[in-house]
Structure 1
Amino acid sequence: MPEAITIAVRPDLPTADVQRSLASWLRADDRLRDGVALTPPEGTSEGGADVLRVAVEDAGTAMVLVQAVVGWLTNRRDDVSVGFSRRDGWSADLDVPRARDMTQVTALIEATVRAVTPEARRP
């Protein structure tokens, strides 16, 4: 069963445009396209910024997701950060300067892969 990774872009003004930009970038990758969704926040019917969620089925898809976000960040001129989270409380962040640091990128890929791989989460 796929894990839903929620992605938040900060600063969040203008959130809708930034979220749509990232969603469009992620949908350009065949391996992510069907799992990318922009939905209204839970408990609201409409209004406010949509929530960007990506379904991640396995460690390979998690790696593709992080690499795609890194690609999007490195092509941005404005200073934004991207937060990844799951319903169980796991979270990680990446910003424009760290997206250019392969050590930081590798650490985020490893953390994301562990977060979506059930056998890696067991004690």
Structure 2
Amino acid sequence: MPASQETITLSVYPDLPSADARRSLGSWLRAEDRLREKVITAPDAGATDVLLVAVDSGGAVMVLVQAIAAWLTHRREDVTVKLTRADGWSAELDVRRARDMDQVTALIEAAVRAVADHQPSVETNDR
């Protein structure tokens, strides 16, 4: 990944009408020292907000991966996190009641590695 920052958009589905899942993920990411100043909430084209995370080659991508993986393993309900890059690339992480941190981390690492490497779209699912 180039030294310059790139923004990854995170969408959470299903996001409850009160936006609890997105707020929960945003709070979780902001608890990480290396992400605290890099996570913002912004409106998307639809009726819900998304999280924008600025990442760079300084390790923020791996911190993001680990933080999302930890958040997913603590979710009780089914949830999908969609990562999107400005050039249109996206990956969906569909995790059903995640219990295995290594499995969740592997799924997210594959998606973020594809974002960092600017590879074609990848969709990963764990059911």
The TM tier, using the shorter chain, reads 0.7 to 0.9
The residue identity in structure 2 corresponding to 1:24 is: S
The secondary structure found in structure 1 opposite 2:68 is: helix
Cα deviations by residue, 1:57-100 (Å, 9 ceiling, x for unpaired): 12621111011011011001011111111111221222334852
2:8 to 5, 9, 17: 5
Which is strand-richer, 1 or 2? Answer: 2
Q: Is 1:55 aligned to residue 54 of structure 2?
A: yes
Cα root mean square deviation, aligned: 2.4
TM-score of the superposed pair, with normalisation by structure 1: 0.78
Q: How far, CA to CA, are the matches of 1:69 and 1:90 in structure 2? A: 19
Q: How far, CA to CA, are the matches of 2:75 and 2:23 in structure 1? A: 14
Which is helix-richer, 1 or 2? Answer: 1
Structure 1's unaligned 5+ residue stretches are none
2:95 is matched with 96
Q: How far, CA to CA, are the matches of 1:64 and 1:6 in structure 2? A: 15
1:107 Cα deviation from its structure 2 partner: 4.6
The residue identity in structure 1 corresponding to 2:112 is: T
2:23 is matched with 20
TM-score of the superposed pair, with normalisation by structure 2: 0.76
The secondary structure found in structure 2 opposite 1:9 is: strand
Q: How far, CA to CA, are the matches of 2:12 and 2:97 in structure 1? A: 15
1:31 to 24, 31, 34: 34
1:3 Cα deviation from its structure 2 partner: 0.8
Aligned length: 115
Q: How does 1:107-122 map to 2 (within 5 A)?
A: 107-116=107-116, 120-121=117-118
